[in-house]
Structure 1
Amino acid sequence: MEEFLDPALGQVRVFLRHDDNKPRKLKYNLGHARVLTFGGAYSNHIRAVAEAGARHGIETIGVIRGEEHLPLNPVLARAAACGMTLTYLDRAAYRRKDTEEVLAGLRARWGEDVAILPEGGSNAAAVRGCAELPGEIEDDYDVICCPVGTGGTLAGIAAGLPEGRRALGFAVLKGAGFLEGEVARLQREAYGRVSGNWSIDLGHHFGGYARTTPELEAFAARHGFERIYVAKMMYGILALARQGAFAPGTRVVAVITGQPSTPVEVCGAPTGFDSGEPRWRR
């Protein structure tokens, strides 16, 4: 891990742990011949499912929010290059994607044998995959932080924590109070209980999912952070450190979710993401 240095941290130390949580979420979700899942047009989850399907010989179907737009953006183009079949739901239907009516329609179209994964991949199997992350961290720490979109990563990390440590998630959605119930539900489904070692910060969403402000944009650019998830978490950690929310000497691990900083060729298509070296590297 690498240490993130900023005068605002005072006596709090922050270490960056790069970890693409998408493969962790999929690790125990790929025991099927055919998988259908949901996502927006720029969904990293859609990308990850398509790539995993190509690697393991699994047929994948991506149900995309909204209308089709051609040419496809880099995320959907890569998913298609990996063999994923793309289909679309208008926004009204997409909001009802978890209802039995919509699910029954999808099964009627794609077959009763298709395994349906939720948006973001957060289910009990995903929680078990994410729970393996804390055990891989060899350095000492007190708090582990991660961005929160659907709650699966936080639910798993908290479930896998050693005694005496806690997890802090940073919601990237506006009005995300419901996420506490989601994290609790996911832990119950995975382990039959809710761990009491986690909390969610709701104050650093910067207007909501994929929303930003000039201040956040400048912060993300200065440090080379991805802005939708990672920059919000890191800005929140600094803000809490300034407020004295962490005791002096606290060691924080910040999980940098998403793709590796070095681009790779996947299914014959380049990632299309910035390959620049993050500016916090020493």
Structure 2
Amino acid sequence: MAPATLRPTPADFSFLAELIPQLVWTTDARGYHTYFNQRWTDYTGYTLADSVGDNMWNNLLDPDDQQRARQRWGHSLETGEFYEIEYRFKSKEGDYRWFLGQALPVRDEAGNITKWFGTCTDIHDQKMQELALRKREQDFTTLANTIPQLAWMADADGAIFWYNQRWFDFTGTQLVQVQGWDWQKVHHPEHVERVTTGFRQAVAEGHDSWEDTFPLRRHDGEYRWFLSRALPIRDEAGNIVRWCGTNTDITDQKELQEQLERAYSDLEAKIMFRTLDLERELQELRQQKGA
């Protein structure tokens, strides 16, 4: 004889709801809250009698989360779709903590929703870490886009996967066009092979730094000279995990240097011709005295 199928009883549900670490709640098909577990009471300070109803739970949310949560919950009640949202719940001490709210509908044999079973899981510590990481990323992006250089990052093999906004503004390109080794597209054809060979060698041999000077094509077709430098980032074992580099526009300095070199050459030429003139005049004087 086959064993009878065991079905959970209301007592089983109550036991489970009080045992799990989440705040547990149920509503009827219309969203009227009918039950909260003891953890809800312990966290919010509200008794079951104070908590039941349509909208009391929403009043405990951070004001900035209330409308979003109400709209999301209303959508689930309308459609029967899985409810999931992150929001901040107020504790009985008055502070707010981040929770992940989730709920599933319970249906009868005909497929009609009879109630909703929901939980609120404390994710405050993870959320704070996520927000802190996002803040650091935003700070990095702000810094990277504020510096006057074109900046970039490459993986351990030298393939570039990130540029700052100044790079895109200068070159007029998008990441998909210049990622990997496609940055060669904006290099001067007379220099690109030399530059590529030098950087590949630095990557392959794990140099402590890389430096080169070359022209890059601006979005309007003009080439400008840049001093490019890159340093490797290593893990705890000393292995290179990525390269961070910058391109500094030195066109004005290079033009000034060339002007100075030309002026120096011109001065040398003038001195040489003047010296020859003096020597010729001196010879003429000697010839006149000898006569």
Q: Name the TM-score, length of structure 2 as normaliser.
A: 0.23
Q: Name the TM-score, length of structure 1 as normaliser.
A: 0.23
Structure index of larger Rg: 2
**Relative contact order: is structure 1 or structure 2 higher (C-alpha 8 Å, sep ≥ 6)?**
1
More strand by share: 2
